[in-house]
Amino acid sequence: MTCGETLAYWLDPWPWLWVEIPRRVSLQSKRLASVYLILVVAILSYLIADFVTTEAWHAKMIITNGAVTAWREAPASTVTTGVGQHCGQPELYDNQFSSGWTYRPRSCRLLTGSSAFRKQGNWLHFPTYLEETYTWIHSNCTNATKQMCFDMAPPEDVSEHVERTWEVLHETSCKCSLKDSFFAQTPEDEVLVIIHEYFLPHAGQYLPFFGLPEWGPVLTILRRPDGSRCEIGGKSSWTEEEAAVGIGASLRDWMRCAAADLDLDPVTMTGRASSNLASHLRTMGFSLQFDLEYMSVGAHSEDHEGVVCYVGLSVYVQWNSNVEVQRLSLPSLNSNVVEHQMYMYGVTPSFSFKGSFRYISHTPIMAWIVQAAVLFALPATIMRYIVEFAIGQPSTIYRRETCRPFDLYEHLRKTQARMLISHAAYKQISQEGPLDMERLYGFLEDLYQKQMKAGAIEADDLNLLWRATLTGFDSDMSGKVSLQEFVAAAELIDDLHIGDIVHFMDKDRKVSFMERFLDSTRHQMKVKNSTIMPITSVVAKDDGPDEGPAGEPGREAGPGESDSGEKSPRELS
């Protein structure tokens, strides 16, 4: 006994085991089949393109977080150049923001050490335009005090272009202010150094059976906004060991990779005119955006067995300011406490993280298979609604075939009719004796005589078929097929009603466009029926005398012969 037979015998006592498969109907319509084929080809093309373009065999981990450590280093003494236009002609950079706020730089100041930058945590700011204000409050608001405000010598480092103002706050309080607006002389020479790293998210459901791969070392590549490589210090890429000690360059080099310059008009960066922008980036400052994109092997195209970090630079145009307020003691200003405010506009580096790590996993493959299975069912669903509702009268017939309503009373009449037909058939074939095993075998021999002569069915095959047939008929294992057993085994189902036939063949019926375009039944009837002579011609030919197969008039078929003169299959056997 084979393993399959053993399993079958073992499962026989379990009647609750079955598999439900939906019933399918094959409609022999070439036009409907053409529409269905077009839909299948379209879905198949989409699935192939989706499988290739999305790399469905890869799971993806999206990088959203990382860390950057940024700091400033002093510029080399050799990079200091001559005075630029912003120092030689600072009035060219004047900007009227509003009626109450005007930017009027009048000098330059060389910022060194801690005055050249501001840092708090990972936040770093390089000032390019500054407004320094000294303010002190007087309680004796006399003309002498006011004159003292305008006559006093400015603090050290304050230019001769200082603006002095006197404001009466209330009856017993007055404010004296000294304001100096100036540019940083060489902020482009300040050195910005960064160290970066990425954080892997939790793999979750995409974790493969064999674990995550080793991602390998990180190669850092610097790129311009157009995607091309950009060199700073003669390099455009850094190994993991080189990047670990910091990637540093002057602000001038970093801005060059972002296609920016401090004397550039912001309108050229934004592409739109705005009254809220200064005439130069040096006056308003901006955010120098570092976009770090990490890609694993398979996601990048570099010749590197590991992770590649693409660092893209761009400029985000905005008023980028920072303010500091201090209280100082300056006896030379005839005041014990002076408020010192430094309002700064400049360059602030900012960082964003993204990336995609890919690896082979079973989960996305299974998800794609499920998606493909759902989409493959879409053409059949579309065709079902077209067939059942869109092609007129044939849809009524097709709908009855694909969706069979069941009514107990109506079905009872159909069942009774089929039982009566089966009863009549049983009486006819059992006239010569009971329908036992020998007679059933003889009927099967007559039925499959043609196949036996052709060799398609052998004696062993017929014997197996006979046993299966007898098992289906002879439910009480008596060796004979009774009337009740025969009727119970016979089935006849016909959903094509006579009303449907009459209505379909009615020449006066209005045929819809969808029925005429998609249903080819009428065309098939026209082509296949063209070889059949009209009934009047047949009757005319039948009016002559009967002739036998040998041309003998009136000869009847002999015993064991059919009307055509051939012997019956039983006599041949």
Same domain for 290 and 427, yes or no, is no
Q: Of 470, 494, 518, which one is at a domain's C-terminal end?
A: 494
| Rg, C-alpha atoms of the chain | 48
The pLDDT value given to residue 330: 63
Segment among 361-370, 458-467, 490-499 with least mean pLDDT: 490-499
Which residue, of 341, 360, 379, is where some domain finishes? 360
Domain co-membership, 461 together with 339: no
Residues 158 and 256 in one domain: yes
Same domain, 164 and 265: yes
Residue 3 pLDDT level (bands cut at 50, 70, 90):
low
Neighbouring C-alpha atoms within 13 Å toward the C-beta of 414 = 12
234 and 127, same structural domain?
A: yes
| Residues 471, 326 share a domain | no
Cα separation of 347 and 342, whole Å?
Answer: 16
* Mean pLDDT score, 513-527: 71
- Pick the closest to residue 298 from 357, 240, 363, 353 (CA basis): 357
Neighbours of 321 (CB within 10 A): 16
Contacts 24+ apart (CB under 8 A), 98-107: 103/129, 103/181, 103/278, 103/283, 104/181, 105/129, 105/181, 105/182, 105/183, 105/283, 106/159, 106/161, 106/180, 106/181, 106/182, 107/159, 107/161, 107/180, 107/181, 107/182, 107/183
Would you say residue 395 lies in a domain?
no
The answer to whether residue 291 sits within a structural domain is yes
Residue numbers of the domain that contains 327: 62-76+105-360
E-strand stretches of 10-145: 58-63, 65-73, 95-98, 101-103, 107-109, 118-120, 123-138
Q: Quick one: CA torsion of 285, 287, 288, 294, rounded to 10 degrees?
A: 180
Token pair for residue 490?
């016979």
Q: Is residue 543 part of a domain?
A: no
Residues 348 and 465 in one domain: no
Residues 346 and 423 in one domain: no
Q: Are residues 144 and 269 in the same domain?
A: yes
Domain end (from 471, 494, 517): 494
328 and 185 belong to one structural domain: yes
The yes-or-no verdict on residue 204 having pLDDT over 60 is no
Provide, rounded to the nearest whole percent, the portion of the chain with pLDDT above 70: 77
Task: Tell whether 247 and 112 lie within a shared domain.
Answer: yes
* Site of tokens 């036998």: 548
Average pLDDT over residues 268-277: 78
- CATH number where 475 lies: 1.10.238.10
Instruction: Confirm whether pTM is higher than 0.85.
Output: no
| DSSP H or E stretch at residue 291 | strand 286-295
113/245 same-domain check: yes
Name the nearest CA neighbour of 363 among 242, 244, 138, 206. Answer: 206
pLDDT at 545: 46
Alpha-carbon gap, residue 190 to 197, rounded angstroms: 24
Q: What is the mean pLDDT of residues 199-211?
A: 59
CATH number at residue 283: 2.60.490
542 assigned to some structural domain? no
In a domain, 388, yes or no: no
- Which pLDDT value is given to residue 560? 41
Confidence of residue 27 (pLDDT cuts 50, 70, 90): confident
Number of folded domains in the chain?
A: 2
